[in-house]
Amino acid sequence: MMTEFFRKLRQASIPVTLTEFLTLLEALNQRVTTHSIEEFYYLARATLVKDERHYDRFDQVFGSHFQGLETRFGEVVGATVPLEWLRKLAELTLSEDDKALIEALGGWEKLMETFAQRLAEQEGRHQGGNKWVGTAGTSPFGAYGYNPEGIRIGQDTSRHRRAVKVWDRREFRNLDDTVELGTRNIKVALRRLRRFAREGAAQELDLDDTIRSTARNAGYLELKMVPERHNAVKVLLFLDVGGSMDDHVRACEELFSAARGEFKHLEYFYFHNMIYEGLWKDNRRRYTEKIETLTVLRTFGADYKLILVGDATMSPYEITYPGGSVEHFNPEAGDVWLNRLLDIYSRAIWLNPQPQNRWSYVPSIQMVRELMGDRMYPLTLEGLEQGIRTLQRAR
Amino acid sequence: MSQTRFRGTDRYVATDDLMMAVNAAVTLGRPLLVKGEPGTGKTQLAEEVALALNRPFIQWHIKSTTKAQQGLYEYDAVSRLRDSQLGDARVHDIGNYIIKGKLWEAFTHELQPVLLIDEIDKADIEFPNDLLLELDRMEFHVYETQQLVKARHRPVIIITSNNEKELPDAFLRRCFFHYIRFPDPETMERIVRVHYPDLKKRLLSEALEAFFEIRDVPGLKKRPSTSELLDWIKLLVAEDIPPEALRGDAHKLIPPLHGALLKNEQDVHLFERLLFMSRRKKD
Ligand SMILES: Nc1ncnc2c1ncn2[C@@H]1O[C@H](COP(=O)(O)OP(=O)(O)OP(=O)(O)O)[C@@H](O)[C@H]1O
Ligand SMILES: [Mg+2]
């Protein structure tokens, strides 16, 4: 039952690891909570979820998993943790550090043995006349003295709340923002870019460290340098506006407005559906003030990182045929232009606001993705992070 | 050990989920990471935990320039250099120039203290990672004096963040986590009560109603939080404002002394404009 719960959490993309699962076992073992499923819910949440954006998903999994079973709590959580399952899970989720830690503790068998032993002790010590109903005494959870009869739901909470279980209230719904990108999380992701910008930047004298080192060095001068603190990352941002993109313009603009504050060198241009010979800087004057794409490519050097934002949803003609554009006659096909861009800007990604599960149904998305050499990411925090990681990788 | 469970104090209201998070962290000796909107009592929590559990309190406030090493110790080489030029005898003992950091202080305290690491997200992104080893092992090495500083007791560590930066996964895995949700009206009532136990019932309920209505005004740059509400109530009491003056929904009436709630000029304008419009609609 518990292992199933754990699996469901991971399925719901809550990044729970074995370390945290073991912490939960340990907390139960130390009797952090003893009498209500509500407390168990709080404990599990504090142990397994490390980001409020995942609270809502956690609530849903918790609700569906333990549904109708609140009153038989002892039975519900009473199942042994199969060693084999833990091992498989470990391969999937453990970091090298975790693995080393487990080895240091004597390996899996030993760890499980210790658990069982501690449980047995606990069981022996447990007094007070309560008996647990339910399953095996070896169970890591059933053995902690939950009293299935004595569970009071909603104790200590206010009257009108008592009826609804905490996790069913879905109080954290508006904190889950994996679906769309908001200004808040976008900033976090973009900061990673900025941090990257410092690497390899020009060196400057670190006065404090120089003094310190010189003093350490019995007064002989020892110069210390650090990377310049200013933000050296250069970004070209190409935003798709108009047409089928309109739904997503807002998300793009958020990305854009968040980005503006983050970079010293940020140049942005608008395009429509696909890159052709002209771009524009001001969306309201797109017909009058076109800039030649070639000029842009000549102006901004290969050290710029290129971020294209667009839904790549169009007719395939717009990508592969001269004259395929819906707005004007383009002498050269879109893929020619995109390749020209990619030849110069080796570090480039395409962010796509369309939900990723729809990508495979739209031929033009597939085509653009291929042109990008697979460097297309959904416009979610996760996608953005992956994209930025790709941009950071030296090519 | 567990007879000292944290349940809030007479000056701090803790919700059930917060209590659980604190007690789990205390019992297992792992850090507790607390996030939440500004003014939701993150900083005060650690102090109250120390008070409730009768432990010494140590506060380490993090700034953008804070380095993890400063929590361990700093070597004041400049003073030493100066002393050596002046021929001061102290110079021979390098220990004279080692300045203990907050973590050192916490590790070597006679009693198990509560250590607050406040606003960890202000520091460089590497900061949490740089502390991992020390927090795991509860010991560190002083390179200059070849000394090993080992924790006498595992301090209770409470860490706050305002979400300015994301924290590394390896760090998060080792913490318990609690997000302080903005208090619902009932919890808020309890919070106000602990600050103003003698407040008249009517005034309190009118003030709360007006407060939550203002918080709901869409488009505010800075929504008023607990601390603003507390300030506002203090003013209301000081000026002897009668509860009637707060009555009626905020869409009809500008609450007195609203400057305490809305500190941003744009927000005040927005609010006044909304009031103006809703009044016109009703006429
Ligand atoms: N649960 C509570 N019980 C009692 N007082 C509270 C509570 N929550 C907040 N307050 C009061 O609100 C004010 C702000 O609290 P505090 O400074 O701890 O918030 P914070 O979350 O650390 O804010 P910031 O993010 O701005 O640092 C304090 O005066 C505190 O007494
Ligand atoms: Mg604070």
**B129-185 per-position pLDDT tens digit:** 889 889 888 999 998 889 999 999 999 999 999 888 888 888 999 999 999 999 999
Q: Which of B166, B225, B241 is nearest to A15 (CA)?
A: B166
Whole-model pTM over 0.80: no
The pLDDT of residue A385: 77
Confidence band of A161 (pLDDT split at 50, 70, 90): very low
CA atoms within 13 A on the CB side of B31: 27
**Complex prediction ipTM:** 0.89
Confidence band of A232 (pLDDT split at 50, 70, 90): low
DSSP characters for A77-143?
A: T-----HHHHHHHHHHH--HHHHHHHHHTTHHHHHHHHHHHHHHHHHHH--SS----SS-TT-TTGG
DSSP characters for A305-346?
A: EEEEE----S-THHHHSTT--SSS--SS-HHHHHHHHHHH-S
CA atoms within 13 A on the CB side of B215: 16
Q: What is the pLDDT of residues B6-16, one digit of tens each?
A: 999 999 999 99
From A52-66, A318-332, B110-124, B269-283, the region with the lowest mean pLDDT:
B269-283
A73 vs B192, which has greater pLDDT? B192
B140 vs A214, which has greater pLDDT? B140
The pLDDT of residue B159: 97
The pLDDT of residue A160: 29
- Measure B21 CA to nearest chain A CA, in Å: 6
The pLDDT of residue A324: 75
CA pair distance B116, B158, nearest whole angstrom: 5
A261 vs B212, which has greater pLDDT? B212
Q: Supply the mean pLDDT for chain A.
A: 68
The pLDDT of residue A158: 30
Percent of chain B with pLDDT over 90: 55
Contact check, Cβ <8 Å, B27/A27:
yes
A336 vs A149, which has greater pLDDT? A336
The pLDDT of residue A273: 85
A221 vs A142, which has greater pLDDT? A221
- Mean of pLDDT values over B174-203: 93
- Taking phi over 0 as left and psi of -120 to 50 as alpha, with beta for the rest, A124 belongs to alpha
Establish, for the pair of chains A and B, how many residue pairs have beta carbons separated by less than 8 Å.
87
The pLDDT of residue B88: 83
Query: Coil, helix or strand for B121?
Result: helix
A274 vs A219, which has greater pLDDT? A274
Q: Which of B182, B207, B172, B180 is nearest to B192 (CA)?
A: B207
The pLDDT of residue A204: 62
Ligand 1 surroundings by CB, under 6 angstroms: B 12-13, 36, 38-44, 162, 191, 194, 226-227, 230
Which residue bears the tokens 């899970």? A89
From A16-30, A102-116, A353-367, B157-171, the region with the lowest mean pLDDT:
A102-116
Q: How far is CA B111 from CA A10, B26, B72, in A?
A: 40, 14, 19
- Cα dihedral A40, A46, A52, A58, rounded to 10, equals -40
When scoring B2, B15, B16, B91 by the number of chain A Cβ atoms within 10 A, the one with the most, hence best to mutate, is B16
Name A239's Cβ contacts closer than 8 Å, sequence gap at least 6. A252, A253, A256, A268, A269, A270, A271, A309, A310
Question: Does an H or E element contain A227, and which?
Answer: strand A225-227
When scoring B5, B19, B20, B172 by the number of chain A Cβ atoms within 10 A, the one with the most, hence best to mutate, is B20
Which residue bears the tokens 């609010």? B271
Q: Which of B256, B260, B155, B264 is nearest to B220 (CA)?
A: B264
- Mean of pLDDT values over B92-120: 93
A144 vs A281, which has greater pLDDT? A281
CA pair distance A221, A217, nearest whole angstrom: 7
Question: Does the pLDDT at position B230 exceed 90?
Answer: yes
Give me the phi and psi of A234, to 5 degrees please. Answer: -115, 130
The pLDDT of residue A311: 86
Question: Does the pLDDT at position A81 exceed 70?
Answer: no
B92 vs B107, which has greater pLDDT? B107
- Cα dihedral A90, A385, A187, B229, rounded to 10, equals -30
Decide: B180 and B34 in contact? Cβ < 8 Å. Answer: yes
- Mean of pLDDT values over A235-264: 66
Question: Does the pLDDT at position B223 exceed 60?
Answer: yes
The pLDDT of residue A170: 61
- Mean of pLDDT values over A12-22: 87
Q: How far is CA A232 from CA A52, A185, A198, A269, A308, in A?
A: 32, 22, 6, 20, 20
- Mean of pLDDT values over A344-350: 93
- Measure A8 CA to nearest chain B CA, in Å: 19
